[in-house]
């Protein structure tokens, strides 16, 4: 029996972002934010109507470059009339849709006649080519790989995927001066040691093992240095630099070796932002600013020291960190931090204990100081007759030491909005915390059970407050 969990999903765009000098405010951005794309999975059916709409616009020339293995069209959108050629492609990894949304925000912005002066200013100098959604088969399946199971971004040399061939053919035909390789990175990357997620990470990929800097790569690094103040102003301490180890099979590195000044953009996690709307907006802002800077050449004044000052990504984030839990085994009390990994994208439905011990070097999307609270294993409440689970009844059960239910799901009438764990698929930890087991247990003090951790969410057993629904 599959059980469900209520995650209080919400989007954190109302947070206090400080706009940079030339950046638009969140409210201004909302005017250009393409509706319908604020969701965790974006497939071709989501963008098909937008493609149909924009292809009516004489500003844009649409070309079908070919089809994915499963027959979904892959389009190129061309705009502008300048000699400088800029090429951008998104969602080569099917489960990385953030930049695709930002690309359609950009098209909406360009389409607005109120922006005609702005668009003319760069379209005179630049011809922009965009392939949104290189991997539609992976997008609809919500997988990184294509329908052959091939990671297209390791297929730049072998070219055995139709999608990889389409991308390489486009690059050889266009011969762009600049390339923008648009991805998402997983949410556990931190921006240096700041204990914050790397909401944006950038990289000028190497073109050889020695990671030399030639003129082409230097331009890509200058584009990154140029954009750093914008990101720093918008989301201080959330900008990271991706590892520049040469990856000979990857498109970014291969394009670099072809003399294309290539920038890798990785959209990452942000607190309170499940659907990555914060990096979506930043992607959009970067595209606008980069178009201006390439058209004017102004980025060529950027100092590489600013590029080098961006901290490298670190594997430094956890979904939830409970600190200072007292864990007593063999009469030896110890203070431990406990990290959980949540099932944010609903693939397994299971939050698991990820780490135990001194986790002080990690940042958490959610953190909770459990000082004065003791680990206590939760008991299973076996369903033998029907139970009307009201909030009061549920809290009473939690305070009585139960943390989850087992038995016939039909017997449980959950009348609460609280997280409830029924027939857990992972084992619930018993006398001690165990990694990989269900993040389900109790926290108690002399007055009894104060909090219940139910599938990674912390419920106050007095007030019914859920302390850490993901998204707050
Ligand atoms: Zn990727």
State whether 141 and 274 are in the same domain. Answer: yes
Q: Which domain holds residue 417?
A: 318-460
| Distance of CA 40 from the midpoint of ligand 1 (Å) | 15
The confidence band for 470, taking pLDDT boundaries of 50, 70 and 90, is low
pLDDT for res 15: 32
Describe the crossing of helices 277-296 and 116-123 by its angle, rounded to 10 degrees. 60
State whether 275 and 359 are in the same domain. Answer: no
The confidence band for 467, taking pLDDT boundaries of 50, 70 and 90, is confident
- The string over 42-72, giving b where at least 16 C-beta atoms fall within 10 Å of a residue's C-beta and e elsewhere, is bbbebbeebbeebeeeeebeeeebbebeeeb
- Could you tell me the two tokens for 70? 């499963």
Is the pLDDT confidence value at 218 over 90? yes
| Distance of CA 183 from the midpoint of ligand 1 (Å) | 4
| Distance of CA 301 from the midpoint of ligand 1 (Å) | 30
Alpha-carbon distance of 214 to 291, in angstroms, equals 22
User: How confident is the model over 347-401, as pLDDT tens digits?
Assistant: 677 899 999 999 999 999 999 999 999 999 999 999 999 999 999 999 999 999 9
Whether residue 11 is contained in a domain is answered as no
Contacts of 210 (CB under 8 A, 6+ apart): none
User: How confident is the model over 273-283, as pLDDT tens digits?
Assistant: 989 999 999 99
State whether 380 and 428 are in the same domain. Answer: yes
| Distance of CA 110 from the midpoint of ligand 1 (Å) | 26
| Distance of CA 431 from the midpoint of ligand 1 (Å) | 41
State whether 229 and 285 are in the same domain. Answer: yes
224 phi and psi angles, rounded to 5 deg? -70, -45
Number of Cβ within 10 Å of residue 227's Cβ equals 25
Alpha-carbon distance of 213 to 224, in angstroms, equals 14
Whether residue 8 is contained in a domain is answered as no
Alpha-carbon distance of 272 to 10, in angstroms, equals 7
pLDDT for res 463: 96
Describe the crossing of helices 215-234 and 277-296 by its angle, rounded to 10 degrees. 130
- Could you tell me the two tokens for 161? 């995927």
With the CA atoms of 350, 351, 352 and 356 taken in that order, what torsion angle do they form, in degrees rounded to the nearest 10? 180
Is the pLDDT confidence value at 7 over 60? no
State whether 205 and 291 are in the same domain. Answer: yes
State whether 124 and 192 are in the same domain. Answer: yes
State whether 341 and 368 are in the same domain. Answer: yes
| Distance of CA 172 from the midpoint of ligand 1 (Å) | 21
Are 206 and 244 in contact, with CB atoms under 8 Å apart?
Answer: yes
| Distance of CA 93 from the midpoint of ligand 1 (Å) | 5
State whether 273 and 347 are in the same domain. Answer: no
Domain boundary residue among 258, 285, 315? 315
Quick one: which of 353, 319, 316 has its CA closest to 338? 353
79 phi and psi angles, rounded to 5 deg? -150, 160
pLDDT for res 182: 98
CA angle 120, 260, 263 (to 5 degrees): 75
Whether residue 151 is contained in a domain is answered as yes
| Distance of CA 423 from the midpoint of ligand 1 (Å) | 35
Alpha-carbon distance of 419 to 244, in angstroms, equals 42
pLDDT for res 246: 93
Q: Identify the CATH number of the domain in which residue 436 sits.
A: 2.30.40.10
| Distance of CA 266 from the midpoint of ligand 1 (Å) | 7
Whether residue 109 is contained in a domain is answered as yes
Quick one: which of 277, 269, 244, 79 has its CA closest to 174? 79
State whether 341 and 353 are in the same domain. Answer: yes
- Could you tell me the two tokens for 172? 């050889």
Is the pLDDT confidence value at 456 over 60? yes
Whether residue 417 is contained in a domain is answered as yes
Whether residue 146 is contained in a domain is answered as yes
State whether 123 and 46 are in the same domain. Answer: yes
Please give the mean pLDDT across all residues of the chain.
Answer: 93
330 — alpha (psi -120 to 50), left (phi > 0) or beta?
Answer: left
Q: Which carries the bigger pLDDT value, residue 9 or residue 37?
A: 37
Domain boundary residue among 299, 315, 331? 315
State whether 153 and 242 are in the same domain. Answer: yes
| Distance of CA 46 from the midpoint of ligand 1 (Å) | 20
Whether residue 10 is contained in a domain is answered as no
Domain boundary residue among 315, 331, 362? 315
3-state helix, strand, coil split of the chain in percent (to 5) is 30, 30, 45
Percentage of the chain exceeding pLDDT 70: 93
Q: Identify the CATH number of the domain in which residue 142 sits.
A: 3.40.630.10
For ion ligand 1, residues whose CB falls within 5 Å: 93, 96, 183
pLDDT for res 158: 98
Whether residue 423 is contained in a domain is answered as yes
Name the domain count of the chain.
2
Is the pLDDT confidence value at 23 over 80? no
State whether 307 and 403 are in the same domain. Answer: no
| Distance of CA 185 from the midpoint of ligand 1 (Å) | 6
């Amino acid at each position: 029996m599959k059980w469900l969990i209520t995650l209080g999903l919400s989007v954190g765009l109302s947070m206090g972002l400080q706009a940079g000098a030339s950046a638009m405010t969140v409210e201004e951005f909302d005017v250009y934010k393409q509706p319908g794309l604020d969701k965790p999975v974006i497939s071709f059916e989501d963008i098909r109507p937008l493609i149909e709409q924009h292809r009516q616009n004489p500003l844009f020339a649409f070309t079908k470059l070919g089809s994915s293995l499963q027959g979904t069209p892959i389009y190129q959108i061309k705009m502008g009339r300048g000699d400088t050629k800029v090429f951008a492609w998104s969602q080569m990894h099917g489960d990385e849709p953030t930049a695709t949304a930002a690309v359609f925000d950009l098209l909406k912005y360009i389409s607005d006649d109120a922006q005609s002066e702005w668009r003319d200013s760069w379209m005179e100098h630049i011809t922009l080519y965009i392939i949104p959604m290189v991997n539609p088969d992976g997008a609809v399946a919500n997988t990184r790989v294509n329908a052959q199971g091939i990671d297209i971004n390791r297929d730049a040399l072998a070219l055995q995927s139709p999608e990889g061939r389409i991308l390489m053919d486009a690059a050889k035909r266009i011969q762009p001066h600049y390339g923008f390789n648009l991805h998402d990175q997983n949410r556990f990357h931190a921006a240096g040691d700041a204990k914050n997620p790397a909401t944006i990470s950038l990289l000028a990929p190497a073109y050889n093992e020695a990671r030399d800097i030639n003129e082409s790569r230097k331009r890509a690094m200058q584009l990154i240095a140029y954009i750093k103040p914008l990101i720093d102003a918008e989301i201080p301490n959330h900008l990271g630099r991706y590892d520049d180890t040469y990856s000979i099979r990857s498109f970014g590195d291969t394009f670099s070796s072809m003399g294309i000044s290539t920038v890798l953009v990785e959209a990452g996690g942000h607190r309170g932002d499940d659907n990555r709307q914060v990096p979506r907006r930043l992607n959009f802002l970067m595209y606008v600013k980069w178009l201006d800077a390439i058209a004017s050449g102004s980025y060529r004044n950027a100092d590489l020291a600013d590029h080098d000052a961006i901290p490298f990504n670190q594997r430094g984030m956890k979904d939830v960190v409970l600190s200072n839990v007292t864990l007593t085994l063999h009469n030896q009390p110890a203070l431990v931090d406990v990290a959980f990994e949540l099932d944010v994208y609903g693939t397994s439905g299971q939050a698991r204990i990820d780490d135990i011990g001194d986790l002080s070097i990690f940042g958490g999307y959610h953190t909770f100081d459990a000082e004065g609270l003791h680990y206590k294993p939760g008991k299973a409440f076996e369903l033998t007759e029907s139970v009307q689970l009201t909030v009061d009844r549920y809290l009473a059960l939690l305070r009585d030491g139960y943390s989850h239910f087992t038995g016939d799901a039909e017997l449980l009438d959950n009348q609460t909005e609280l997280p409830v764990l029924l027939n857990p698929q992972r084992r619930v930890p018993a006398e001690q915390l165990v990694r990989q087991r269900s993040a389900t247990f109790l926290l108690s003090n002399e007055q009894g059970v104060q909090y219940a951790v139910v599938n990674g969410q912390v419920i106050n057993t007095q007030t019914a407050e859920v302390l850490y629904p993901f998204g707050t």
